[in-house]
Amino acid sequence: MKILVCIKQVPDTEANPELRRDLSWINEDNLAFRMNRYDEYALEEALVIKDEFPETVIDVITVGPERSAAVIRKGLEKGADSAVHIKTAENHISAADTASLIADYASGRGYDIIFAGVMSEDMMQCMVGPMVASLLSMPCIVSVVKTSVDFDSGIITAESELEGGIIETVELSAPCLITIQTGINQPRYPSLSNVMKARGMTHQTVEADHFIKNRVSSLSYPERGAKGTEITGSIEEKADKLVELLYERGLLV
């Protein structure tokens, strides 16, 4: 079985990014970056399949600027067999461009399953996975919380989380694309042997900036909304002030 796992480098959630002065993008000078957590679960699901079926080959792929190479290095340390960096000069790549670049690379390479996180922590659009599946004309299931692979028949059984906690069970035939929800497994730490092995591995780099069709023109902060009113004092004083404000604003008669 051959698996491709899509991973993304995102800013750490503890970061407090600010816009650049020219409003072209966020200031990345003091930001820490790491692997998107949803993609960590997707990679772990591929590694679980490899544990069960050792002949499985796992490739990891990312789209992004020079710094994104660190995230595929982490994928190799976790146990992936090879890695591909589709490198662009842009810090932000639209979902459409990302999906197009991944689909173009994956086309014709014989992947049985393409895994991706259900969304990225920075954009939270849930778009890249389904768009890749559409471009490759393969079946897709999203927000998966459990998978089971029948290696003889090539049938993948997946449980998808729907609204209200409802679980939908779907059977897909390979090739297919699956986006993974958190909690499906417990992502492993890289073993020392894999870390040492990854140091001697090289990854494929594909220059792709000239393929980008959608570019960010500018960013802006949200407009400030109406400010709230803080009421201070004892409980009785607060109650009196609240009633007075409601009368003033015509909410009580």
* Domain ranges for the chain: 2-211
**Would you state the pLDDT for residue 210?**
80
**Would you state the pLDDT for residue 139?**
96
- pLDDT band of 209, cuts 50, 70, 90: confident
**Would you state the pLDDT for residue 219?**
84
Q: Which residues pair with 64 in a beta bridge?
A: 87
51 residue type, one letter: D
2-211: CATH topology: Rossmann fold (3.40.50)
**Would you state the pLDDT for residue 147?**
96
235 residue type, one letter: I
pLDDT tens digit string along 37-57? 999 999 999 999 999 999 999
**Would you state the pLDDT for residue 182?**
95
The edge-to-edge listing of strands for the beta sheet with 176-180 is 167-173, 155-161, 140-150, 176-180, 113-117, 2-6, 57-64, 82-87, 204-207
CA dist 69 → 64, 72, 211, 220 (Å): 8, 6, 19, 28
**pLDDT at position 211 over 90:** no
63 residue type, one letter: V
Mean pLDDT of the 92-104 span:
94
Which of these, 180, 175, 133, 147, lies nearest to 39 by C-alpha position? 180
Rounded CA separation 5/39 (Å): 8
Residue 131, C-beta contacts closer than 8 angstroms, at least 6 positions apart: 95, 96, 99, 100, 103
